[in-house]
């Protein structure tokens, strides 16, 4: 309840004893208590407040007075609750409030069999940001990240400031891979922001994140936090500015890639590699068709990957020829191919698909759309 109204004189258990019982119960210890009493002598009033009451109204009761007292207490409760549950700087939930919300998610998950994903985010080099730009810029970065998280996630999700430069997001009904995608979208928006320093300098700020899923990665909140924190550590170790799922060790720890981009345009390749790494994919870039054949074809190929994003127009050897050689060497059994081309002719598209390419995307294309195609290809 938001407010408890007690009569001082009640049968069996009087108001004083009930108030004391309420105050010793941690579930209701902070609930305001308003007494109704016909006894207003000093001893009775002292007894009321000594039991833990917040206020009293003397009988006979005037309706407007009682209403005003109740409204006043409810407004104060709402204000204090907001202060206790909302981080004063960012406006998102406090650590305590976020913990309660995520615990509720986990309880619902166990009841209804839904997934719950949990993400831990930590701003990269935040001390250096404060040292270089000043604390006002650091605070602005924290507020902006909180705004983006609040805009991105649903009302039933939990978004909280976990402490310092760290945030937590609880995503009810969301699988881990979907959670990685959503946090990566926030990162892509956040790192475009420019924060101004006290001396007129400015800089971009990034964050790293780890994502875990219940019950896949842990049965309770403590386990999920540990697994997500391990993934966050891996994201930092792999170069920061990225989101990694639980169990990932980053680019530097694995020999096999998730995605190899074969594209001769360095600007486009940089955008693609950046977007892929943001989402936690282990990536490799090749800018020449002949080099691509040497790396991706052969028995076995020298570069192992789950997916190749292959441009048609390449120096050295065109993409169709690269794909044809991969087919000859029976590489497509373990590797999927998405073709990229600026050409509008259907012949090359049909040939690529007949050779075994999984998908085709025409330039110019939307990077988020391509990321969705890549994600879908890696799930198959």
The CATH number that applies at residue 39 is 3.40.50.2300
363 with 259, same domain: the answer is yes
Residue 288 within a domain: yes
Task: Name the pLDDT band for 31 (thresholds 50, 70, 90).
Answer: confident
Query: Is there a single domain that holds both residue 73 and residue 51?
Result: yes
Report the DSSP pairing between strands 116-123 and 166-172.
antiparallel
pLDDT of residue 79: 59
- Are residues 262 and 311 in contact, defined by beta-carbon separation less than 8 angstroms? yes
At residue 249 the predicted structure's pLDDT band, cuts being 50, 70 and 90, is: low
102 and 238 part of one domain: yes
**Residues 241 and 143 occupy one common structural domain:** yes
pLDDT confidence bin for 380, thresholds 50/70/90: low
Q: Taking CA 92 as the corner, what is the angle to CA 211 and CA 173, rounded to the nearest 5 degrees?
A: 40
Enter the tokens of residue 179.
């959670």
Q: What pLDDT is stored for residue 137 in this prediction? A: 95
For residue 90, being part of any structural domain is answered with no
Question: Do 149 and 168 belong to one domain?
Answer: yes
Q: Let me know whether 34 and 153 are in one domain.
A: no
Higher-confidence residue of 342 and 126: namely: 126
**Between residues 343 and 121, which one has the greater pLDDT?**
121
- Residue 101 pLDDT level (bands cut at 50, 70, 90): very high
| In a shared domain, residues 99 and 247 | yes
Residue 272 has pLDDT above 50, yes or no: yes
- Mean pLDDT of the 81-87 span: 73
The pLDDT assigned to 60 comes to 84
Q: Report CA-CA distances (Å) from 207 to 28, 68, 134, 142, 270.
A: 39, 48, 18, 11, 19
Same domain, 321 and 371: yes
Is a pLDDT exceeding 70 seen at residue 130? Answer: yes
Domain that holds residue 17: 4-85
- The Cα–Cα gap between 74 and 72 comes to 6
The mean of the pLDDT values for the chain is 90
Q: At residue 47, does pLDDT exceed 70? A: yes
260 and 245 housed in the same domain = no
Domain tally, the chain: 3
What average pLDDT does this structure show over 26-36?
A: 82
State whether 266 and 234 are in the same domain: no
pLDDT of residue 105: 96
Q: 62 and 178 in one domain?
A: no
pLDDT for the residue numbered 333: 80
**Per-residue pLDDT at 253 exceeds 70:** no
**Range 210-230 average pLDDT:** 95
Assigned domain for 143 exists: yes
More confident residue, 52 or 118: 118
The model's pTM:
0.68
Pairing mode, strands 207-214 and 243-245: parallel
Distance CA(101)–CA(158), nearest Å, equals 6
Q: Is the pLDDT of residue 128 over 50?
A: yes
pLDDT tens, residue by residue, 317-329? 999 999 999 999 8
Rounded average pLDDT over 111-118: 95
């Amino acid at each position: 309840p938001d407010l408890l109204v007690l009569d001082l004189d009640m049968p069996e258990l009087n108001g004083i004893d009930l108030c004391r019982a309420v105050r010793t119960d941690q579930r209701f210890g902070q609930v305001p208590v308003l007494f109704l009493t016909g006894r207003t002598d000093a001893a009775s009033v002292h007894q009321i407040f000594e039991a833990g009451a917040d206020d009293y109204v003397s009988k006979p009761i005037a309706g407007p007075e009682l209403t005003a007292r109740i409204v006043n207490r409810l407004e104060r409760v709402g204000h204090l609750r907001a202060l206790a549950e909302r981080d004063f700087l960012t406006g998102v939930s406090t650590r305590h409030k976020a913990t309660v919300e995520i615990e509720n998610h986990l309880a619902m998950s166990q009841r209804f069999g839904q997934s719950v994903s949990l993400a831990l985010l930590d701003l990269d080099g935040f001390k250096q940001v404060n040292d270089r730009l000043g604390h006002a810029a650091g605070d602005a970065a924290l507020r902006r990240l909180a705004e983006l998280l609040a805009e991105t996630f649903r009302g039933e999700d939990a978004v909280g400031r976990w402490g310092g430069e760290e945030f937590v997001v609880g995503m009810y009904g969301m699988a881990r891979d979907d959670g990685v995608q959503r946090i990566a979208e926030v990162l892509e928006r956040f790192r475009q922001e420019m924060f101004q320093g006290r001396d007129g300098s400015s800089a971009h700020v990034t964050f790293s994140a780890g994502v875990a899923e219940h019950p896949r990665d842990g049965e309770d909140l403590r386990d999920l936090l540990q697994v997500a924190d391990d993934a966050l550590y891996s994201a930092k170790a792999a170069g920061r500015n990225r989101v990694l799922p639980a169990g990932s060790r980053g680019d530097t720890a694995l020999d096999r890639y998730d995605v190899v981009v074969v594209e001769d345009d360095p600007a486009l390749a940089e955008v693609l590699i950046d977007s892929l790494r943001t989402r936690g994919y282990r990536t490799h870039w090749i800018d020449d068709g002949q080099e691509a054949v040497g790396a991706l074809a052969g028995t076995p190929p020298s570069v192992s990957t789950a997916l190749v994003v292959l441009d048609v127009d390449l120096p050295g050897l065109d993409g169709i020829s690269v794909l044809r050689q991969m087919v000859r060497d029976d590489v497509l059994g373990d590797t999927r191919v998405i073709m990229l081309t600026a050409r509008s002719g259907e012949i090359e598209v049909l040939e690529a698909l007949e050779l075994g390419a999984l998908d085709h995307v025409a330039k110019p294309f939307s990077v988020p759309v391509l990321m969705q195609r890549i994600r879908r290809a890696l799930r198959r």
